[in-house]
Structure 1
Amino acid sequence: MNSLRILLAVAAAAIAAPVAAQEVSVPYWASIRAGEVNMRAGPGEDYRIDWVYRRPQLPVKVVRLLDGWRLVEEPDGTRGWMLARFLTRQRSAFVKGQGLTDMREMGAANARLLWRVEPGVVVLLDDCDKGWCGVRIGERAGYIRQDRLWGAGEP
């Protein structure tokens, strides 16, 4: 009898896992996992390719889920569909705005300046607090003002 209960519990868990994976609330931030990803006009491989992305870790906003596809949005509002397997929930952002932005040793305007970062540079995100986000660019780590990052904060 215990074996039957265990078998039923395992079977129920196996069925529930894929359903739970689909129950993610949107919108949410994601980043591109692969070295080449197609953005399509619709959720299927028969739809035309609108863009080809060749920049791993580039952040995108996921705004809709459909059968293994994700409708993603770029900062300019452009939307298209990507296969979910080419996206990751690893948080990243890119520097936005005009001119260089400061990467500081701590999350404060008067903290020691470490580097100056150009717009368009992709960073891996750590926690954000009081308007500053911990970021990593390769082996370098520091803090950048949250208002200079697309992909930080609420999607």
Structure 2
Amino acid sequence: MKLARILWVAMAVVIAAPIAAQQTQEAVVTPITAVQAERGPVTNLPMPRYVSLKANEANIRRGPSLSHRIDWVFQRRDMPLRVVGEYGHWRRVVDREGMGGWVHYSLISGNRTVIIDSDLLVLRSQPLPNATEVAMLELGVIADLGECGAEWCRLSAGGYRGWAPKTALFGVGADELRD
């Protein structure tokens, strides 16, 4: 009952938003700062955010309960996922291809990983395009995420450590900085 009510309210907001925008064309748009960023209603953590799959296998459901149909089964431990919704003990997640659904929070971890989104990505010794090559990672490799600057992130995979451009990774925000 509550979920249906929430969905109905969400649909009303989606339908009403274009109408309100037409009525207030003189409205001033202010950029969202980090302090104003959306927070999850359950965890109060930033939304959206990245997590990783804790289990070797996780059922991804159509809705936030065990009674909802299983749409997907993710079968890759440490796979990075993007959390886009929360409801009780359930998190709405999306993978790098945009597929997803609801997963129980016990199956995800705050450990940060990324998946390599370009073939034969070169890891470099420093966050510079001409730095020494450390290793090459194939498309789809999962790496542990370390610190990130404006354009580069430090990765660890298969015993190798090095820097890679953010644009070649899924699992880290474009404007995200990590120490």
Q: TM-score, normalised by structure 2?
A: 0.70
Give the equivalent residue in structure 1 for 2:57.
36
Give 5+ residue unaligned stretches, structure 1.
1-19
Give the equivalent residue in structure 1 for 2:71.
50
Give the equivalent residue in structure 2 for 1:149.
169
SS of 1:144's equivalent? strand
- Rounded to whole Å, the distance in 1 between the matches of 2:150 and 2:97 is 26
- Rounded to whole Å, the distance in 2 between the matches of 1:122 and 1:114 is 17
- Rounded to whole Å, the distance in 1 between the matches of 2:135 and 2:43 is 40
- Specify which structure has the bigger relative contact order, considering alpha-carbon pairs within 8 angstroms and separated by 6 or more residues: 1
- Rounded to whole Å, the distance in 1 between the matches of 2:84 and 2:163 is 28
- Rounded to whole Å, the distance in 2 between the matches of 1:130 and 1:60 is 21
- Rounded to whole Å, the distance in 2 between the matches of 1:28 and 1:130 is 17
SS of 2:167's equivalent? helix
Give the equivalent residue in structure 2 for 1:79.
100
C-alpha contact 2:50 2:171 (8 A) present in aligned 1? yes
Q: TM-score, normalised by structure 1?
A: 0.81
Give the equivalent residue in structure 1 for 2:44.
23
Q: CA deviation at 1:79?
A: 2.7
- Rounded to whole Å, the distance in 1 between the matches of 2:121 and 2:77 is 22
SS of 2:131's equivalent? coil
Give the equivalent residue in structure 1 for 2:160.
140
- Rounded to whole Å, the distance in 1 between the matches of 2:127 and 2:150 is 8
CA RMSD of superposed structures (Å):
1.7
- Rounded to whole Å, the distance in 2 between the matches of 1:44 and 1:115 is 43
Q: Which has the higher strand share?
A: 1
